[in-house]
Amino acid sequence: DAGVTQSPTHLIKTRGQQVTLRCSPKSGHDTVSWYQQALGQGPQFIFQYYEEEERQRGNFPDRFSGHQFPNYSSELNVNALLLGDSALYLCASSSRLEGVYEQYFGPGTRLTVT
Amino acid sequence: LAKTTQPISMDSYEGQEVNITCSHNNIATNDYITWYQQFPSQGPRFIIQGYKTKVTNEVASLFIPADRKSSTLSLPRVSLSDTAVYYCLVGEFYGGSQGNLIFGKGTKLSVKP
């Protein structure tokens, strides 16, 4: 049973460009959350998707947007990239049916903006 | 979500028991306490979750006093592979809630031979 997978593993973009990151949740999970982790910091919550809708959002600008597909996979889009967007982007999946709330994290996508 | 405070770093030696304490003075009645572990360049991994008293699994134990204003993660007989950052989180963590996770800077545990 595959866990959470993310693609690509690494990405280098230039300021002003746009980027799309992809995530496939753990089998049986219906909720996907995205986090941004800067070097030396804990992960910061971006937003969460359930039933193809954004349900919660952290303190991130509108340049950050997402989508969830019928198969529960998800995309994170970032427009007009800034140098400060360089970070590890983590996807986590979970299930509303599980009694213990545990988010399963993927390995992340390392984004470098030059 | 209740704010948490934990030590920035800790050092230990192989074979020792490590206890990491987290303070959460403003914990709410519905809040659970959860600990995650993160290795460099990997996503965090769930370790343990509890509400009160003591919880134990194959990896760690979690001790929560009656007032729930703090908690202690206990790692028995650590090895070099336990070197990681450990995060304490507090929130309404149960299946139907799906709250987002608020991470602090965590505790960087270094295990030496």
State which amino acid sits at residue A10.
H
User: Which residue from B minimizes the CA distance to A102?
Assistant: B46
Q: Do B105 and A4 touch (CB under 8 A)?
A: no
Which residue among A90, A94, A102 sits closest to B43, beta carbon to beta carbon?
A90
Strands (DSSP E) found in B4-43: 9-13, 18-23, 32-38
CA B64 to chain centre: 11
Q: Give a three-class secondary structure readout of chain A.
A: CCCCEEECCEEEECCCCCEEEEEECCCCCCEEEEEEECCCCCCEEEEEEECCEEEEECCCCCCEEEEECCCCCEEEEECCCCHHHCEEEEEEEECCCCCECCCEECCCEEEEEC
Residues of chain A positioned with their CB less than 8 A from the CB of B90: none
Residue showing tokens 């600990």: B35
The nearest CA of chain A is from the CA of B36 a distance in Å of: 10
Residues of chain A positioned with their CB less than 8 A from the CB of B50: none
Per-residue pLDDT of chain B (113 residues; tens, 9 = 90+): 568 999 999 999 999 999 999 999 999 888 889 999 999 889 999 999 999 999 999 999 999 999 999 999 999 999 999 999 999 998 876 554 556 777 888 999 999 99
Q: Structure tokens of A97?
A: 């049916």
Q: Do B43 and A105 touch (CB under 8 A)?
A: yes
pLDDT at A1: 62
